[in-house]
Chain A
Amino acid sequence: MAETSFDLIVVGGGPGGYVAAIRAAQLGMKTAVVEREHLGGICLNWGCIPTKALLRSAEVGHLLRHADAYGFSAKEVSFDLKKVVKRSRDVAGQLSRGVGHLLKKNKVTVFDGHGRLAGGGKLKVEKDGKPVADLTAKNIILATGARARSLPGLEPDGKLVWTYKEAMVPEAMPKSLLVVGSGAIGIEFASFYRDLGAEVTVVEVLDRVLPVEDEEISAFARKAFEKQGMKIMTSATVKALKKGADSVTATIEAGGKVSEVAVDRVILAVGIVGNVENLGLEGTKVKVEKTHVVIDSWGFTGEAGVYAIGDLVGPPWLAHKAMHEGVICVEKIAGVKGVHPMDTTKIPGCTYCRPQVASVGFTEKAAKAAGREVKVGRFPFIGNGKAIALGEPEGLVKTVFDAKTGELLGAHMIGAEVTELIQGYGIARTLESTEAELMHTVFPHPTLSEMMHEAVLAAYGRALHI
């Protein structure tokens, strides 16, 4: 007879859930995770990780096609899509097993099934409609995540109209592709398929691609994508999708003009909705707004002993945000001293398209809108020795400082490897560095990171290499 009484049960084994469970176990709580599909959640199985594997393949392809620039000749470069996809699935599978080991190592009990609140600290676990276990816990954290949003008339069918899930495991290469939505998910797939040779059209309802990024970065990205041959339509909406046997004709309205685009496949990336259904929230004090559970700054839902974290509670829909929320929530429950609520202005965002995009904190526009007087620094990749040596002269690093206090309000980067660089600025923000500390920091030469130094210097008119 398996144990059924716990200090903490986490519903959902994604990055928010499993990290919360491990932290709880570290703090001495008897902990369980209820997961209905696969440990590691979307991130690990159908999101962050497998897409990075795909994008790596695309990058290798890109390099092979440009081998001549580095003195190599690579003729008749071709790829086997099945192998590309298999590699991605293998990577996901390896890491999912890794999460299982981590939970085991931390003595977290895992229940395979769907968890549903049954009132008074009870949780029913079912699998395929059959009861698996009746559990009780002092505290329950809901971490059921989110799924792709579908718009009326734009419902995915899994064959011609894909969500991220189908886009990740294509059986054949589409010759042409329409990507609806230019957020991180849409743009990463657009970049992947474009690098593998598909004709890609991106439709964005707002006036720029990657709309959460700094305007300058959006503009830079758009230029780079268009140079690669992507077709970008902003302030545009897809009115209808007419499906053929092996193709789709999309009716797109932009600036009052209606046009039709015929493509092999469509990828929908128009946001996500929280998985709030069938959780037993009815009759509890848990409030749901716009498909997301409402919480206080510690993850508390208002229902005694019930908390929620991650994509389920709203944007930014990022695995690292979910993980951090999980830790904060568990530490708050455990009464750990010095726990701080999440500061969303310190959460970096990364998009792994080519060129990569990464940012943390306020955009220039948001900083000004918040009433800050700002100093802005910019440094282009073309001024950096390592970027030139890598053959990656395309990119920009931008910093936004509070003109009065020198607080680093935000940093925005586009170009090779910037997703690996952004944490430097993240640390600076967390430590509340001013421009002075960043200027005093010695950045190694030759690295791309030197541009981060220069962008700080540039904000104060002191850039050295431009």
Chain B
Amino acid sequence: MPIEILMPALSPTMTEGNLAKWLKNEGEAVKPGDVIAEIETDKATMEVEAVDEGKLGKILVPAGSQGVKVNQPIALLLEEGEDASALAKAATAAPKPPAPTPTPTPTAAPAPVAQQPSAAPAAAPAATAAATGERVFASPLARRMAQQAGLDLARLNGSGPHGRVVKADIDAALARGAPAAAKPTWAAVSAVAPPAFGLPAFTEQPHSMMRKVIARRLVESKREAPHFYLTLDCNIDRLLQLRQEINAKREKDKISVNDFVIKASALALKQVPAANASWTESAVRLYQAADVSVAVATPGGLITPIIRGADSKSLSTISAEMKDLAGRAREGKLKPEEYQGGTFSVSNLGMFGIREFAAVINPPQGAILAVGAGEQRPIVKDNALAIATMMSCTLSVDHRVVDGAIGAEFLAAFKKLIEDPLSMLI
């Protein structure tokens, strides 16, 4: 009996994903640990590793399929000694009974990556399973040519006996310039002719999964969470000086201002635990760890990799982790546990010269700190005008969870740490 490879739940909340790419072909041998496919989840491209040894017998969900439900069979793995005839039996086998999906428990350890499809909790088979998993009849030559040309066989009309896709269909498709197996990427730009009543010409970029998730979550945040905003200015002269001293001793991997901000945020959360909280329908959830989500702009959109337990990490550790996470974020290679489950967010647009701004809370978190640029401003110090490098910070707070006073208390604690950076190092 072939082993069903199921669409893995790469995070506790994942319900569907796009099957971006198959890295193994039908008939190829597979060893445990081999990367067999890439799955585009809401925020990243994930690799799916094989758990069992065998031969990839049949790909049920072609590359480029969107909205593949978690636990839907995506391929059949033939065990040693099984041949293709076993596939027919598998096709008729009853689907697994549904089991409840576990609710996420953020206090627990980060959700493990479900790379063991057979062990993943089985959800009710999606109604679309049959449609997407249907066998495509094609000649061996047509299959190979399609694979070489990156054509999706399922999109071709077969002209052979019983609709079998044959070489002539591939030739015809290539002749008319059929697109390669469509990847759900927003790079697919299609020009749309302006309608008659005078809209300007425009192009449309189909939504990527990431864009859809950003839209859904931020609408949810703004609609559900009553935001209020607290702003104050931090003098970062001492911080900059300390940073300079530290970096003078470092050949590379210089510490950034943002690394200080992450550290200070985490320490402030520890000092004011009431600000480290989420709203749930039944209770306010107070986090024990200060896991700071840091907004990173990527070509695909915003993503927030997490520095976990940032309060207890050294600046150099935070700095190194941040570089690694940001780099992989831009490549779309973050694992879900690396960007899901933070308790508080930091968004820094200082590098763009933004003086101050208010960020939208990253649900289900209770607050987000928006950090502006450090700039020299006239200040009044000891009853006299002076020049200092100031950094404006705005805290957006979910009023359901954190009241104004708590928010202000947090922000004050943060300011104190930033303005007395040595205290962060102790």
Q: Is the CB of A433 within 8 A of B148?
A: no
Q: Which residue of A is nearest B83, CB measured? A: A440
Residue A246 at the chain B interface, CB threshold 8 Å: no
Q: Which residue of A is nearest B166, CB measured? A: A432
Q: Is the CB of A407 within 8 A of B148?
A: no
Q: B56 CB to closest chain A CB, in angstroms?
A: 14
Residue A431 at the chain B interface, CB threshold 8 Å: yes
Residue A371 at the chain B interface, CB threshold 8 Å: no
Q: Is the CB of B140 within 8 A of A338?
A: no
Q: Is the CB of B148 within 8 A of A436?
A: no
Q: B153 CB to closest chain A CB, in angstroms?
A: 13
Chain B contact residues, majority secondary structure:
helix
Known A-B contacts: A338-B161, A338-B162, A431-B139. Give 8 more (CB < 8 A): A405-B148, A406-B144, A407-B141, A407-B167, A431-B140, A433-B139, A434-B140, A434-B141
Bound Cα distance A338, B137 (Å): 15
The 8 closest A-B pairs by CB, nearest first: A432-B139, A432-B141, A434-B140, A407-B141, A437-B140, A432-B167, A434-B141, A405-B145
Residues in A neighbouring B141, C-beta threshold 8 A: 405-407, 432-434
Residue A404 at the chain B interface, CB threshold 8 Å: yes
Q: Which A136-174 residues have a C-beta within 8 angstroms of B?
A: none
Residue B37 at the chain A interface, CB threshold 8 Å: no
Bound Cα distance A406, B142 (Å): 11
Query: Binary interface profile of B, 143-182, with partner A (CB < 8 Å = 1, else 0)?
Result: 0110010000000000101100011000000000000000
Q: Which residue of A is nearest B163, CB measured? A: A338
Residues of B within 8 A of A (CB): 27, 139-142, 144-145, 148, 159, 161-162, 166-167
Chain A contact residues, majority secondary structure:
loop
Bound Cα distance A44, B387 (Å): 111
Q: Which residue of B is nearest A402, CB measured? A: B141
Bound Cα distance A434, B145 (Å): 10
Residues in B neighbouring A431, C-beta threshold 8 A: 139-140
Q: Which residue of B is nearest A433, CB measured? A: B140
Q: Which residue of A is nearest B84, CB measured? A: A440
Residues of A within 8 A of B (CB): 338, 340, 404-407, 431-434, 436-437
Residues in B neighbouring A338, C-beta threshold 8 A: 161-162
Q: B426 CB to closest chain A CB, in angstroms?
A: 67
* Most chain A Cβ neighbours within 10 Å, of B27, B145, B166: B145
Our pick among B140, B148, B159, B166 for the contact of A404 (Cβ within 8 Å) is: B148
Bound Cα distance A389, B317 (Å): 78
Residues in B neighbouring A404, C-beta threshold 8 A: 148
Bound Cα distance A217, B106 (Å): 75
* Most chain A Cβ neighbours within 10 Å, of B27, B142, B144, B167: B144
Bound Cα distance A434, B140 (Å): 6
* Most chain B Cβ neighbours within 10 Å, of A405, A431, A433, A434: A405
Bound Cα distance A50, B180 (Å): 55
**A432-B161 contact in complex given A404-B148, A405-B148, A407-B167, C-beta closer than 8 Å:** no
Q: What are 22 inter-chain pairs, A to B, with CB distance below 8 A?
A: A340-B159, A404-B148, A405-B141, A405-B144, A405-B145, A405-B148, A406-B141, A407-B141, A431-B140, A432-B139, A432-B140, A432-B141, A432-B142, A432-B166, A432-B167, A433-B139, A433-B140, A433-B141, A434-B141, A434-B144, A436-B27, A436-B140
Bound Cα distance A437, B84 (Å): 12
Bound Cα distance A432, B144 (Å): 10
Q: B168 CB to closest chain A CB, in angstroms?
A: 9
Residues in B neighbouring A437, C-beta threshold 8 A: 140
Residues in A neighbouring B166, C-beta threshold 8 A: 432
Q: Which residue of B is nearest A407, CB measured? A: B141
Q: Which residue of B is nearest A404, CB measured? A: B148
Residues in B neighbouring A432, C-beta threshold 8 A: 139-142, 166-167
Residues in B neighbouring A406, C-beta threshold 8 A: 141, 144
Residues in B neighbouring A436, C-beta threshold 8 A: 27, 140
Q: B290 CB to closest chain A CB, in angstroms?
A: 57
Q: Which residue of A is nearest B149, CB measured? A: A405
Bound Cα distance A317, B159 (Å): 28
* Most chain A Cβ neighbours within 10 Å, of B27, B141, B162, B167: B141
Residues in A neighbouring B161, C-beta threshold 8 A: 338
Bound Cα distance A432, B142 (Å): 8
Q: Which residue of B is nearest A408, CB measured? A: B141
Residues in B neighbouring A405, C-beta threshold 8 A: 141, 144-145, 148
Q: B179 CB to closest chain A CB, in angstroms?
A: 20
Bound Cα distance A160, B123 (Å): 87
Bound Cα distance A406, B162 (Å): 24
Q: Which residue of B is nearest A436, CB measured? A: B140
Residues in A neighbouring B145, C-beta threshold 8 A: 405
Q: A442 CB to closest chain B CB, in angstroms?
A: 12
* Most chain A Cβ neighbours within 10 Å, of B140, B148, B161, B166: B140
Bound Cα distance A340, B162 (Å): 12
